[in-house]
Amino acid sequence: MKRFTTLMLGIVLMAQTSVAQSALDERLEIGRKLVKEVEDATVKVNDYWQSHNSPKCRAFWDNAAYFTANQRVYRRFPNKRYLDYAIEWAEYNHWQGATQTDKTKWEYKTYGEGMNHVLFADWQICFQVYIDLYKQEHRAERIQRALEVMCYQASTPEKDYWWWADALYMGLPIFSKLYTVTHDQKLLDKQYECFKWTDSLLFDTEEQLYYRDGKYVYPKVKTACNNGKSFWARGAGWVLAGLAQVLEDLPQDCKYRPFYIDRFKKLAEGVAKCQQPEGYWTRSMLCPDDAPGYETSGTAFFTFGILWGVNHLILPREQYQETIQKAYKYLFEVALQPDGSIGYVQPIGEKPDPTKTVNAKSQAPFGTGAWLLAAYEFCNYFADQSLAGRIAGKKK
């Protein structure tokens, strides 16, 4: 009788093991399909953009934001066309941003597209791409201007360089990225000093969100919803995405890392609370009525940041799984158009502006770049195939 019981127990355990293995195999297969789906879409979107837009365009933020994403796409798909496209853009701009050589004329305190605004972060974001291209091939001319400008900035006593939220994507990550090449500690010191200044100006500890700039800090601007606080999705999106890039390059033992992680976590929490049921974030984060409807750029930057945090074990998977699932549905079923273009991108601006048309044909380099950043991290996320299986199961 004892032998019979032992035999039956063994049979039951084998059956349970078989069922568990079958379920695991199914999850793995679903995970592989999801990775392939995202990879195919990523290539389609990047190919569409490059076939419809010349690389011979200025190195200002609007274009440069796309090129920061193209670099990540190239990491996963080392297609020489993607690399050549970026190099052609960099060479067209002579590996520079704003070109003024007289340091006494360098500006940053006001918005400016002129060549004197060398210290203005919107003209510096291109350095992120140049540094990446330098790592591909160590040619000094690729980072000569970046070194000149950023090391000069690091040597100045000023700390108010980033007076608007967008700058925390455009300028903030350059210092830690350049540090990976030079290992010059003053770059990290300056980065932290300037970030602390911006954080003290724009971070709302109650809502855990960043204002776009000082003009919008409550109560200077109020929403239509109970005269509440006004937070612009793309502005806060720049910050979350920028912090992810900083943490990616910052040394693990850097004394400033805990503060960046704290802000990254708090901002992610604040952002997740504002997501719409359909998976997107409205332009006015706490008051959809201010500028209702789909918007892709802010949504994609938020998704990239949250995915990056989960993929790098900074944000807990279970807490953000539903947020990610809903964002995936929006980005791949609404924002992504059949021809490979990315729609519903708010045009250039600085606030939730309901007068700006946002529809399926609303495209921009920074919007496509934001979508590609999110897609890159979705590939990594779904590569954790057991998790991919659980999420895919919920989609059915």
22/25 Cα distance (integer angstroms): 5
Q: Cβ of 82: how many Cβ atoms within 10 Å?
A: 19
The candidate with the shortest Cα–Cα distance to 233, out of 283, 270, 164, 192, is 283
95/143 Cα distance (integer angstroms): 7
146/154 Cα distance (integer angstroms): 12
Number of H helices, E strands in the chain: 14, 2
Residues 6 or more apart whose CB falls under 8 angstroms from that of 287 comprise 223, 224, 225, 228, 230, 352
Largest CA distance in the chain: 95
CB contact at 8 A, 87 and 129: no
Residues 6 or more apart whose CB falls under 8 angstroms from that of 94 comprise none
Residue located via tokens 């440069």: 64
Length, in residues, of the chain: 396
343/372 Cα distance (integer angstroms): 13
- Please report how many Cα atoms fall inside a 13 Å half-sphere around the Cα of residue 282, on the Cβ side: 17
Active site amino acids? 166
Residues 6 or more apart whose CB falls under 8 angstroms from that of 50 comprise 81, 82, 85
Q: Amino acid identity, residue 163?
A: W
- Scored b (16 or more CB within 10 A) or e, 39-53 reads bebbbebbebbbeee
82/338 Cα distance (integer angstroms): 22
Geometric angle at alpha carbon 264, from 329 and 176, rounded to 5°: 110
CB contact at 8 A, 124 and 170: yes
DSSP 346: P
